[in-house]
């Protein structure tokens, strides 16, 4: 079908296959739909869908389609277009956007309304990005077009006239995943489920609370699952339907996408008090009974609890909710655990749009600590079951100390006023161009929007000061203590087993009665030397804050090379092979056997520790990601181990090898390859400096794991004579080139 889905400033003629039946209103084509003669003229915004049927009226091709926007107002947002049978949403009797005849208009929840359905209906989905050069939808790229499943979504937000929905990519509709980096380079590459969220409780207010607050969690220390999100303009059957936020959908697939090691079919996922979304309640009941019956002030009980739940993960959830002053945190609780012997319960942050003063202008001064530790709260919003875990855990001195200190960590970083206000302004700027059309569509008022934006700004500026005083009073924390921490080049300082000061400085104000925990960590290739500004020699220690004088500490590091540096080297790398999976090969240039057990293999983001491994003089060792697949392709390879816990990036990568204590051994960088089939990165000559990218070549095929690289790779040296001359290798290299040429003549 040409042209494809997109925005056009004039009428267009669309080419269709002949003898297909088509529709122009989003409905599913039937044998009674108009028959194509090969072209259709589109003069107004339209969802075109078509399919082929046999003489018996049976569908013989999948339903296909595309959305054509004609002379629509410009937008700065991703466009999400839904094409769906009009009756499915708009029929007065059965439409999901209508209350229907079974609704109870006398009850505020309107039980029995059509929108409370959990059914799914097929719909055409088109996703159109803006043109990156002009920031306009005109000239933008359609990044997905196909049939997906459409469902209603949300709780009480279904009562809004602009309703939330979810999208499901399923094989039965044609495409198993929506393959596009919808949430930027740091987000996922593909998605099976997505949500178009109407802003929930924040609808017709700021429109950004939920996505703003969850988006504040930027530091790696959070380790807390939360949804990515971005603003989107939505059309339904060619009609503008308003601004939504596109979000990941929380379910087992979401957890498996965020944790590739997790089996999505083998998860317990529960929400609210004990509503099972997947799996069973049994293991969670054991956890809850343990917390209810045990005195967690006792170290042994607290330690045992750490085997059942990820205490740090739960604590960070409580820190975020307390800072947000989320008044609905007692209702929006989700927790999960893989069904494996050593797994622990974890919590998910979501639906926080009742925070940041949604219902109260002076929300920044509210004492959320008292709110979340109330033992006899009402059924909503903070019933006793929802505050049980936090109340019991705060009896433990270690939990109390880290709860306070980590909260202060974030008040200096992710929750600092300047950081939060800047995040608000970015969100506002992202909507400013499009928001007037949203007001027009749903009778919103710009004045009300501005009021809530100002409320967000005020909360962001004022909340840290109020929360500090709540913490001080609740925990009898004492006076303020100022500290500056510096990490010299070569390492970082971990503060409170939480945030990192990485080759830089950090200044914070803490409390005198709650010592900080500091740990100096050398980067690979360096080692810790000592502390300046304090007479301590330990790598990690608790720092008392008794003196009122400001403290200034510096952790220093120095380069650290292994005795076998550049003697055990990378020799061959497989970044792309569907048959064998990724693998790397090491070569021992020495005359002694090397024990590599516990050595570290890293890329730019990951680290893997090698299992038991020994490498004989002059021999080769392969570390692979999937031993079973590797053995199928290379049955003769004699020295192979697993342990490669991450994939090698075929588009260019830096790999490094370090000893057990982080001493530098070897590193290699290779550039992207244009090959779309299996290929190997190989060192062209065994004696060359393998840290120089010019000494590597791309070899098609399967490579030669556990043996020397092919002789023909040496021919690459010939093309680099000028390079050898420039670096002064001279006569020796010229002789080597002559030798290689002589071998090729033979």
Q: What is the pLDDT of residues 540-551, one digit of tens each?
A: 999 999 999 999
**pLDDT tops 90 at residue 674:** no
Classified as helix, coil or strand, 122 is strand
Q: What is the pLDDT of residue 673?
A: 66
Rounded Cα–Cα distance for residues 607 and 198 (Å): 40
Of residues 329 and 327, which shows the higher confidence score? 327
Give CA–CA dist 648/669, Å, rounded: 12
| 62-95 confidence digits (pLDDT tens) | 999 999 999 999 999 999 999 999 999 999 999 9
The CATH number of 568-709, from 1.10.10.60, 3.40.50.300, 3.40.50.150, 2.60.40.1260, is: 2.60.40.1260
How many angstroms separate the CA atoms of 6 and 14, rounded? 12
Query: Domain coordinates of the chain in residue numbers?
Result: 1-72, 262-475, 480-559, 568-709, 714-746
Residue 63 makes CB contacts below 8 A (sequence gap 6+) with 28, 29, 49, 50, 51, 122, 124, 147
Length of the chain: 746
- Report the DSSP pairing between strands 551-559 and 480-487: parallel
Q: Judge whether 75 and 69 are in contact, CB under 8 Å.
A: no
148: which strand partners? 123
Strand order through the sheet with 46-51: 6-8, 64-70, 46-51, 21-23
**Domain 480-559 shares a fold with domain 568-709:** yes
Model confidence at 671, pLDDT cuts 50, 70, 90, reads confident
Within a 10 A sphere around the Cβ of 402, how many other Cβ atoms?
22
Contact indicator for 482, 506 with CB cutoff of 8 Å: no
Q: What angle do CA 326, 330, 331 make, to 5 degrees?
A: 100
What CA–CA distance (Å, rounded) separates 417 from 218? 15
pLDDT of residue 292: 97
> Each residue of 558-574: pLDDT tens digit?
999 999 999 999 999 99
Q: What confidence score (pLDDT) does residue 507 get?
A: 98
Residue 644, H or E segment = none
Order the strands of the 346-349 sheet from edge to edge: 225-226, 346-349, 334-338, 267-271, 275-278
Backbone angles phi, psi at 623, to 5 degrees: -110, 120
Contact 297, 399 (CB under 8 A): no
pLDDT value at position 22? 97
User: CATH class for domain 1-72?
Assistant: mainly beta
Q: Which of 727, 678, 725, 717 is nearest to 698 (CA)?
A: 678
- 480-559 sits in which CATH class? mainly beta
Number of Cβ within 10 Å of residue 305's Cβ equals 21
* The two three-digit tokens of residue 274, written as one number: 């004990």
Stretch (H or E) spanning 171:
none
Q: Which residue has the tokens 């008794």?
A: 546
Per-residue pLDDT, 105: 86
Mean pLDDT within 637-649: 91
Per-residue pLDDT band for 587 (boundaries 50, 70, 90) equals very high
Q: What CA–CA distance (Å, rounded) separates 246 from 183?
A: 9
Q: How confident is the model at residue 675 (pLDDT cuts 50, 70, 90)?
A: low
* Nearest partner of 279 among 332, 345, 365, 233, judged by Cα: 345
Element (H, E) at 419: helix 417-432
Mutual orientation of helices 446-475 and 435-442 as an angle, nearest 10°? Answer: 100
Share of the chain above pLDDT 90, in %: 85
Q: What is the pLDDT of residue 186?
A: 85
CA pair distance 410, 508, nearest whole angstrom: 10
CB neighbour burial string for 84-98, b if at least 16 within 10 angstroms, e if fewer: bbeebbeeeeebbbb
Are 540 and 529 contacting, i.e. CB atoms less than 8 angstroms apart?
no
Q: What is the pLDDT of residues 128-152, one digit of tens each?
A: 999 999 999 999 999 999 999 999 9
pLDDT exceeds cutoff 90 at 467: yes
Angstrom distance (rounded) from CA 227 to CA 199: 14
Give the number of other CB atoms < 10 A from CB of residue 529.
15
pLDDT class of 721 with cuts at 50, 70, 90:
very low
Residues 150-163 have pLDDT tens digits of: 999 999 999 999 99
Residue-wise pLDDT for 90-108, tens only, equals 999 999 999 999 999 889 8
Give the Cα separation of 228 and 249 in Å (integer).
Answer: 9
Average pLDDT, the chain: 93
Residue 676 has a pLDDT of 61
DSSP helix/strand/coil, 668? strand
Q: At what angle do helices 446-475 and 311-324 cross, to 10 degrees?
A: 130
Residue ranges in 33-183 assigned as alpha helix (H): 86-90
User: Average pLDDT, stretch 489-518?
Assistant: 97
Under a CB-based contact definition with an 8 Å cutoff, are residues 47 and 56 in contact?
no
Q: What SS3 state is found at 667?
A: strand
Per-residue model confidence (pLDDT) at position 366 = 96
Measured CA to CA, the distance from residue 590 to residue 594 in angstroms comes to 9
């Amino acid at each position: 079908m040409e042209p494809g889905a997109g925005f056009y400033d004039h009428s267009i003629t669309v080419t269709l296959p002949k003898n297909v039946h088509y529709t122009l209103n989003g409905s599913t084509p039937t044998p009674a739909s108009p028959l194509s003669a090969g072209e259709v003229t589109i003069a107004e915004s339209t969802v075109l869908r078509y399919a082929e049927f046999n003489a018996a009226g049976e569908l013989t091709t999948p339903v296909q389609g595309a959305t054509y926007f004609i002379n629509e107002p410009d937008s700065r947002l991703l466009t999400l277009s839904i094409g769906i049978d009009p009756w499915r949403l708009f029929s007065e009797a059965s439409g999901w956007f209508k209350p229907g005849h079974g609704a109870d208009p006398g009850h505020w929840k309107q039980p029995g309304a059509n929108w409370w359905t959990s059914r799914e209906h097929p719909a055409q989905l088109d996703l159109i990005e803006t043109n990156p050069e002009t920031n306009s939808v005109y000239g933008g790229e359609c990044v997905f077009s196909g049939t997906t499943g459409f469902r209603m979504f949300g709780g009480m937000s279904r009562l809004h006239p602009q309703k939330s929905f979810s999208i499901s990519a399923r094989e039965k509709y044609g495409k198993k995943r929506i393959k596009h980096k919808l949430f930027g380079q740091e987000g996922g590459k593909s998605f099976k489920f997505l949500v178009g969220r109407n802003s929930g409780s924040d609808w017709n207010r700021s429109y950004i609370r939920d996505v703003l607050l969850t988006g504040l969690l930027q530091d790696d220390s959070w380790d807390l699952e939360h949804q990515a999100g971005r603003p989107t303009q939505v059309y339904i059957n060619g009609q503008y339907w308003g601004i939504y936020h596109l979000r990941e959908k929380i379910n087992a697939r979401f957890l498996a996408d965020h944790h590739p090691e997790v089996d999505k079919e083998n998860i317990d996922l529960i929400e609210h008090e004990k509503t099972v979304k997947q799996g069973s309640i049994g293991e969670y009941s054991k956890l809850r009974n343990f917390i209810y019956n045990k005195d967690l002030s006792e170290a042994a009980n607290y330690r045992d609890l750490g085997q059942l739940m990820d205490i740090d993960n739960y604590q960070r959830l409580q820190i975020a909710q307390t800072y947000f002053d989320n008044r609905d945190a007692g209702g929006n609780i989700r927790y999960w655990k893989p069904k494996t012997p050593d797994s622990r319960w974890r919590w998910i942050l979501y639906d926080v749009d009742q925070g940041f003063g949604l219902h109260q202008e002076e929300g920044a001064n509210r004492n959320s600590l008292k709110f979340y530790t109330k033992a006899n709260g009402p059924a909503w919003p903070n019933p006793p079951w929802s505050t049980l875990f936090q109340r019991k855990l705060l009896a433990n001195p270690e939990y109390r100390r880290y709860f306070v200190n980590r909260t202060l960590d974030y008040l200096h970083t992710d929750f600092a006023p300047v950081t939060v206000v800047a995040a608000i302004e970015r969100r506002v700027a992202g909507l400013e161009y499009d928001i007037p059309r949203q007001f027009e569509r749903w009778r919103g008022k710009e004045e009300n929007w501005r009021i809530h934006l100002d409320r967000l700004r005020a909360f962001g500026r004022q909340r840290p000061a109020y929360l500090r005083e709540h913490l001080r009073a609740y925990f009898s924390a004492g006076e303020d203590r100022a500290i500056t921490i510096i990490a010299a080049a070569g390492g970082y300082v971990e503060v409170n087993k939480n945030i990192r000061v990485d080759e830089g400085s950090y200044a914070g104000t803490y409390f005198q009665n709650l010592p900080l925990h500091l740990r100096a960590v050398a980067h690979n290739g360096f080692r810790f030397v000592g502390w300046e500004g304090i007479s301590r020699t330990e790598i990690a220690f608790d720092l008392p804050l008794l003196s009122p004088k400001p403290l200034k500490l510096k952790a220093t590091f120095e380069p650290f090379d292994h005795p076998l540096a550049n003697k055990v080297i990378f020799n061959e790398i497989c970044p792309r092979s569907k048959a064998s999976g990724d693998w790397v090969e090491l070569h021992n240039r020495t005359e002694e056997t090397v024990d590599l057990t516990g050595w570290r293999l890293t890329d730019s983001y990951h680290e893997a520790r090698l299992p038991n491994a020994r490498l004989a003089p002059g021999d080769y060792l392969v570390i692979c990601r999937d031993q079973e697949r590797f053995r199928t392709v290379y049955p003769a390879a004699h020295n192979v181990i697993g342990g490669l816990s991450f994939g090698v990036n075929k588009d260019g990568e830096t790999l490094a090898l370090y000893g057990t204590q982080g001493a530098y051994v070897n590193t290699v960088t290779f550039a992207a390859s244009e090959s779309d089939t299996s290929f190997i990165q190989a060192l062209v000559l065994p004696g060359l400096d393998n840290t120089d990218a010019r000494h590597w070549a791309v070899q098609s095929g399967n490579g030669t794991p556990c043996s020397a690289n092919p002789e023909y790779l040496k021919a690459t040296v010939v093309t680099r004579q000028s390079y050898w001359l420039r670096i002064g290798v001279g006569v020796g290299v010229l002789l080597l080139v002559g030798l290689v040429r002589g071998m090729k003549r033979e």
